[in-house]
Amino acid sequence: MPETNSQPPIPQKEPIEPPTLINRLKTRKSKILLGFLIIFIFSGAVFGVYKFRQTQLSREEIRLRAGQEELAYCKQDSDCILAFRETDCCGCPLVVTVKGLENDSSMIRYSPKEGILWVRPSSSECMETICKQCDGFWPSCSNNHTCIATSVPAIYTPVATGSTDGWTTYKSEKYSYSFKYPNYPAQWVDVDETEKIEKIKKSGEASGEVLNMINYVSFYLEGTPINVMQFTVFDGKRNGWSGDFPVDKGRKKIGDYEFHFYSWREGGGGEVAEISRGGKSYEFNFESIISPDLVDFILSTFKFLD
């Protein structure tokens, strides 16, 4: 038999497959975890700094807010006052607390002239300015302990009855006059301030119209600082006018007497009714919240006693 040459078969190499993504992750697991840890630590540090900063800001805001709330807090009406910006020529008064005014150098206290609520020119730059009248109001403390503006309702005559029955009579035996005033819609309170005028004269600080005042009575709405009417007796004619110069409105007979009318300024702002007798001048000064009808009713009750 012929001899055969047999050789063992050459083993075939199996193809090497590339590592899968999962295998790669497994082999690099420690590096990946370390990377995540670094990112986590860095993010935490950034977030911590942010929160710390926010906390600091919040504390400052809380402190400022607490300070503002304390300045705006009131317990009673006397804690609230009227004020306005010193640099403003015109503008209605703002209602603020006494503490708030003390802590704001740009504000000054506003003292309404017998209840007329508007800002009058107070500097040379504003002297030619004519300010529009504001609605009447006075400051009060609300149930929430914040200062608010309480409106003053216009005071109207009960025209339906057309009567002064039930009105209060004010009489001065010394200066020989009397007149009536209403108790509607709120009680009126009369305050004789003649003694105050005499003290001003004795102090040597009196000037202008105060010099020849001999009797001065104010009428307030009860429970408010609103002065709705004044009555003044001058020894002779009024010695000048403080503040605005009046506008002559002419004469008008009401009841038994003829009155000479003035207005504090063109366009409103209260009305003055004056009558002279025996070398003296008798003057009513009505504030703008009093209706014209009520002015006429009050004047119709005026009488000289002799």
Q: What angle do CA 141, 87, 118 make, to 5 degrees?
A: 50
Per-residue pLDDT, 120: 44
**Contact in structure between 76 and 141 (CB atoms under 8 Å):** yes
- Annotated domain spans of the chain: 77-151, 168-304
For the chain of 306 residues, list the mean pLDDT of each consecutive stretch of 10. 59 60 64 75 78 65 62 86 75 82 82 43 52 66 86 59 80 94 78 84 71 88 75 84 71 93 66 91 86 86 93
Exposed (0-12), middle (13-18) or buried (19+): which is 9, by Cβ within 10 Å?
Answer: exposed
Per-residue pLDDT, 113: 42
Per-residue pLDDT, 158: 53
What DSSP letter does each residue of 122-172 carry, written as one string? -SGGGTT--PPPPPPEEEEE-TTSBEEEEE---B---TTTT--TTPEEEEE
Q: Which CATH architecture has domain 168-304?
A: 3-Layer(aba) Sandwich (3.40)
Per-residue pLDDT, 264: 67
**Greatest distance between any 2 Cα atoms in the chain:** 179
Per-residue pLDDT, 116: 38
What is the pTM for the complete model shown?
A: 0.55
Per-residue pLDDT, 305: 93
**Contact in structure between 211 and 201 (CB atoms under 8 Å):** yes
Would you state the torsion angle of the CA atoms of residues 64, 65, 68, 73, taken in this order, to the nearest 10 degrees?
Answer: -140
**Contact in structure between 113 and 287 (CB atoms under 8 Å):** no
Q: Radius of gyration (Cα) for the chain, nearest Å?
A: 42
Phi, psi of 161 (to 5 degrees): -90, -30
Per-residue pLDDT, 302: 96
